[in-house]
Amino acid sequence: MLLTFTDCKIRFLLLFSRQGKLRLQKWFTPMTEREKKKITRDMTTMVLSRQPRSCNFLHWKDLKIIYKRYASLYFCLAIENGENELIALEVIHRYVELLDKYFGNVCELDIIFNFEKAYFILDEFLMGGEIQETSKQMVNRSIEASDMLQEGDNSEWFELELFG
């Protein structure tokens, strides 16, 4: 069997607002810009048109779409067909928890204005479409350690914090 990079379990993560505005996009498999745009459009229309009291899962092509709404923001995760939907739902939830821990009562505006931080947190949590770190403390420690670099080059102290 020839394995390709498309084998990763999570294909992409999109965050968009109730108005369908994209807030964050992470693609775990290579895609062309056109594909990305098409998928984003499909996702927003599909997810936003869901009736209340429907389940949080959708089929799209050969993928499962797992979405969840947090206040005004939709989190939308695409996983392979064989994957477990409930775990995906908890992946989203854990990410929200991480964001919440970092921003402190996170809201959509935090993500709009600091989307790069949201990406950093995501990169510590998911790597190449797989869960990397499930411990909340660890993710935050590594993010904060990196953040503090900006204050000057006293990184050693924070390394102590992070790796000690």
Partner 1 sequence: MSDVVEKTLTALPGLLSLDSQPGSNKLSSNSKLRNLIRGITELTSKHEEEKLIQRELTSIKEQVSSPNTSMRQMKELMVRAIYCEMLGYEASFSYIHAIKLAQQGTALEKRVGYLAVSLFLNESHELLLLLVNTVLKDLQSTNLIEVCMALTVVGQMFPKDMIPAILPLVEEKLNHPKEIIRRKAVLALYKFYLIAPNQVQHIHNKFRKALCDKDPGVMTASLHIYLQLIEENPEGYKDLTTSFVTILKQVVGGKLPMDFNYHSVPAPWLQIQLLRILCLLGKNDQSTSEIMYEVLDESLRRAEINHNITYAILFECVKCIYTIHPKSELLEKAAKCIGNFVLSPKINLKYLGLKALTYVVQQDPKLALQHQMTIIECLDHPDLIIKRETLELLFRITNAQNVTVIVDKMLEFLRINKDDYTTIDLVGKTMSTVFSVGGDTMQPDIPNSFLKLLSEGFDSVEEDRKLRLFAVDSYVSLLQGEPGKLPQRFLQVISWVLGEYSCLRADLEVDTVLRLLAKLLDMKTTSSETKSWVLMAMTKLCEGGAGVSVARGVSETYSSSLDTVLRQRAQELQHLSQDPELRARVLPRHTGLEPLEVDSSLSFLDGFVSEALAAGAAPYKPPHQRQEELAQAKSLSLEPYGLSLPLSMSSCSITDRQSPTLLSISSGLSGNSNDLSHKGGSSSLRLDGVKRVWGREGYLAQREPAEESAHVEVPSTLRSPSQQGRADGSHSQTPTHTPTPELEKQQLASSLFVGLGSHSSVCLMGKSEPTPQRFRRKARSPASSSGASENISHSLVSPPITVDTLVCNNLLDSHITSEPDVSPLEQTPPLSQGLAAANGSCDEELPDSDVKGSSPSLIGDDALVAADPAPHEEPPKDLLLSSYLPAELSGLSHSEITPLSSDQSLDLSACHVQKEGDLVLVVFIYNSSDSDIQQILLELDSEELEVSCECDGAVGGARGHSVAVCQYSLSVKRPSVHVELVGTVSYQFPVGTPQSGQFSYKLPLSSFIRPLTLSTEEYGTMWLDFSHDTKQNLTLISDDPEPLAASLSVLKNKLQLHVVEIIGMEGIVACRLLQDQPCLMHCRLHAGTLAVWLRSPVPDLPDCLMYFCQRALQEH
The least distance separating partner 1 from the CB of residue 137, rounded to whole angstroms, comes to: 6
SS3 55: coil
Give the contacts of 158 (CB within 8 A, at least 6 positions apart).
Answer: 144, 145, 148, 149
What is the amino acid identity at position 31? M
The least distance separating partner 1 from the CB of residue 139, rounded to whole angstroms, comes to: 10
Rounded distance, CA 127 to CA 123, Å? 6
As a whole number of Å, the end-to-end CA separation of the chain is 42
The least distance separating partner 1 from the CB of residue 147, rounded to whole angstroms, comes to: 6
Strands 22-27 and 126-127: unpaired
- For partner 1, the closer of residues 53 and 78 by Cβ is 53
What is the amino acid identity at position 145? A
Rounded distance, CA 41 to CA 52, Å? 20
CA-derived radius of gyration, the chain: 17
The least distance separating partner 1 from the CB of residue 39, rounded to whole angstroms, comes to: 12
